[in-house]
Structure 1
Amino acid sequence: MEIRHLEYFLEVSRHKSFSKAAEVTHISQPTISKAIKDLETELGKTLFYRSTKYVELTDTGKAILDQAQQIVASFRNIHVQLEGLEKQEIGKVHIGLPHITAVTTFSHVLGAFKHHYPRIEIQLYEYGPKKIEASLQEGLLDFGIFTPEDSDLFEWIWFERDPHSVVMNPTHWLACHNMIGYENLQGEQLIIYNSDYKLHDIILDRCKLSGFIPQVAFETSQRELMIQMVTAGLGVALLPSKICQDLDPEIVISRPLTDSQLYLELALTWKRGRYLSHAASRFLNFFKLNLTER
């Protein structure tokens, strides 16, 4: 068994697809398939159910998933530590960020960092906030972008605070309002974050405090799907205002939500006490400096 076998196993389990895993790892699909087959032969167990529509972990696959993650995380740490010691301006930085964000500040800093350190590779992973948090704890990510709370587990730097707006079809009756309160949402079909986001529960609780049980039409982590459903007139969505600024007003429009306390607050977060490679340390220091300058 080689470490690459476990890396390929993790990528297939993460993406539920051999072809997607091959795309992400920049190798051929037959190579991925052979590596998984070799691993299954060595273990004497089938790790994935395979069909023409999907790939899913077997019970055996699920049983070894945690150990495989730990082994790969440990190997990466060793590899990146040595890499960082030898040449401080090369290496990889693994960052997790949620789907429903308009991380303008982060994007600017990231672009500037790549300009200064072109040989340091930034790998971005789009996950829900809860998965980002778990991946940080497991050592699979160097940094995560989400709303941290546990200072015993994490350290962080706040950089984004984005209030919410209500997004609707231009023909919707709420379009005549300059601002929209929760009371206006009573009886409306809501399209909101799924339960991977803490804001999911906050939105539901705020509606209940306003005296009604919200009618949730759909929950998702995909902002494009949210907007498509709004465009089709299937409901109204709540999205961060910076995302709304880029929407086509001919298709959808937005109005500020009167709740000034409902905002998407994001921080660059890392696991307390975890070793950061030279590449990751350079990114963190660069982020601190450029965030202050902005």
Structure 2
Amino acid sequence: MNLRTLRAFVEVVRQGGFSQAAQVVSLTQSTVSKAVKSLEDELGTPLFNRAGHKVELTAAGEIAYRRALVLLSERSDMLAEINELLDLKRGRLRIGLPPVGCGVLFAAMFATYRKRYPQVDIELIEHGSKRLQECLEAGEVDLAALLIPMDEAFDYQAVRNEPLIVVLPAGHALSRRKRIDFTDLADSPFILFEAGFALNAKIMAACERKGVVPRVTARSGQIDFIVDLVAADLGVAFLPRMLAHKHQHAGIALVPLDEPHTDWHIALAWRANAHLPPAAKAWLELAREMNVG
């Protein structure tokens, strides 16, 4: 059993297929299939139920996937500790950020970090919260920006807490209200972020508490496009206050959302009890120093 085989297996699970996994690990589909078959032969049991084009884990596959994530993260920790021991001149910061809001929060910080640590290589990935959490669990990034509350497997340093703002078409009947809750919006179509964004879960949970079943008319990962859709009267959207104000224009109205437990509370997270490399520690220290947010 080798770590390359485990990486290929993990990506088949994550990507939902062999061809998609092959693209991620930069191998041919045949090589990925052989790697998974080799792992199954070594373990003496199938890891997938192969039904047509759909790939589902067997009970043994669930165990193998969980353990593979641990092994891959341990490898990452080992390399980080050795690098720190050798006091390498060229460090590496691996950080995962969601597309929502992180430009506003972290752009200036990246510039300062680069000036202060010019020899540190920065590896930045952008995903929704669900995928970032998986990357953090697997040790593929050292830090990830996630919303609070988060899994107990992570420690974190809070960054910013922003209330949500309802983004309405300028002529909407509720556009002059001082505050709005989800019962007020029961008849308005929602424009949400794409699947995998933690903000969606907060919105849907708050709707459920109010007994509101929202009608989702569109989804996007681009804030500019979401705001344009609202201005075109396709529905209403929800943004953290700092982003709503940044994108404000004459075609929309902004009204605070009056709902508990819906704040956009973002933090820098890392695996609890895992080794945190010097480059990541320096990023956390800079975030405190600059009082990001």
Is the pair's TM-score, using the shorter chain for normalization, greater than 0.5? yes
The residue type paired with residue 123 of structure 2 is I
In structure 1, the residue corresponding to 2:281 is in which secondary structure? helix
Note closer, same or farther for the CA distance 1:215–1:32 as it changes in structure 2 (3 Å cut): same
CA distance, structure 1, for counterparts of residue 217 and residue 44 of structure 2: 40
Distance 1:25-1:283 versus aligned 2 partners, 3 A rule: farther
For 1:203, the aligned partner's letter is A
Q: How does 1:194-213 map to 2 (within 5 A)?
A: 196-197=198-199, 199-200=202-203, 203-204=206-207, 208=210, 213=211
Structure-2-length-normalised TM-score: 0.72
Please name the residue that 1:38 is paired with: 38
- Pick closer, same or farther for the CA change 1:241–1:293 going to 2, 3 Å: closer
Question: Which string of whole-angstrom CA distances, capped at 9 and with x for unpartnered residues, describes residues 182-218 of structure 1?
Answer: 263243334557795562366337x73xxxx323123
Partner residue in 2 for 1:275? 275
Deviation for aligned residue 1:7: 1.3
Partner of 2:216: 218
Tell me whether 58-67 or 240-249 shows the greater mean CA deviation. Answer: 240-249
Secondary structure of 1:75 counterpart: helix
Secondary structure, in 3 states, of the residue corresponding to 2:184? Answer: helix
Q: Tell me the equivalent position of 1:124.
A: 125
Q: Distance in 2 between matches of 1:75 and 1:221?
A: 37
Measure how far apart 1:253 and its partner are. 2.9
* Aligned sequence identity (%): 24
- 1:72 paired with 2:72, answer yes
Rounded Cα–Cα distance in structure 2 between residues aligned with 1:84 and 1:78: 10
Larger mean Cα displacement after TM superposition, 280-289 or 142-151: 142-151
Over the residues paired in the alignment, what is the CA RMSD in angstroms? Answer: 4.2
Deviation string for 1:154-197 (max 9, x for gaps)? 543332233322234556444x5365522632433345577955
What is the aligned partner in structure 2 of residue 107 from structure 1? 107
TM-fit CA distance, 1:223: 3.7
Contact 1:155–1:270 (8 Å) recurs in 2? yes
- Aligned partners of 1:151 and 1:69: how far apart in 2? 16
Matches within 5 A, 1:1-294: 1-49=1-49, 54-98=54-98, 100-114=100-114, 116-124=117-125, 126-128=127-129, 141-148=141-148, 155-169=155-169, 172-174=172-174, 176-177=175-176, 179-182=178-181, 184-191=184-191, 196-197=198-199, 199-200=202-203, 203-204=206-207, 208=210, 213-218=211-216, 223-224=221-222, 227=226, 235-244=235-244, 253-257=252-256, 259=258, 262-289=262-289, 291-292=290-291
| Contact kept in structure 2, 1:148 and 1:154, CA below 8 Å | no
Give structure 1 stretches of 5+ with no counterpart. Answer: none
**Is the 1:158–1:268 contact (alpha carbons within 8 Å) kept by the matching residues of 2?**
yes
Structure 2: runs of 5+ lacking an equivalent = none
Matched residues, number? 285
Which SS does the other structure have where 2:215 is aligned? strand
Q: CA deviation at 1:278?
A: 2.8
TM-score, length-normalised on structure 1? 0.72
CA–CA distance in structure 1, aligned partners of residues 219 and 146 of structure 2:
14
Task: Tell me the CA shift for residue 113 of structure 1.
Answer: 3.0
Change (3 A) 1:188 1:278: same
Distance 2:217 2:64 in 1: 31
* TM superposition shift of 1:78: 0.8
What CA distance in whole angstroms lies between the structure 2 residues aligned with 1:28 and 1:254?
50
Write the letter of the residue equivalent to 1:214: V
Is contact 1:89–1:279 with CA below 8 Å preserved after alignment?
A: no
Deviations, residues 69-104 of structure 1 (Å, cap 9, x unaligned): 111111111122112322434454444444544452
The amino acid of 1:200's aligned partner reads I
The alignment partner of 1:36 has SS state of helix
Q: CA deviation at 1:19?
A: 4.2
Distance change (3 Å), C-alpha of 1:215 and 1:233: farther
Q: 1:220 Cα deviation (Å)?
A: 9.4
Kindly tell me: are residues 100 and 203 of structure 1, through their superposed partners in 2, closer, same or farther at Cα, counting changes over 3 Å? farther
Inter-partner Cα distance in structure 1 for 2:137 and 2:2:
24
Q: Which amino acid aligns with 1:265?
A: H
- Name the stretch that deviates more: 275-284 or 97-106: 97-106
Does structure 2 conserve the Cα–Cα contact (< 8 Å) formed by 1:83 and 1:90? no
Equivalent pair of 1:15/1:21 in contact (CA under 8 Å): yes
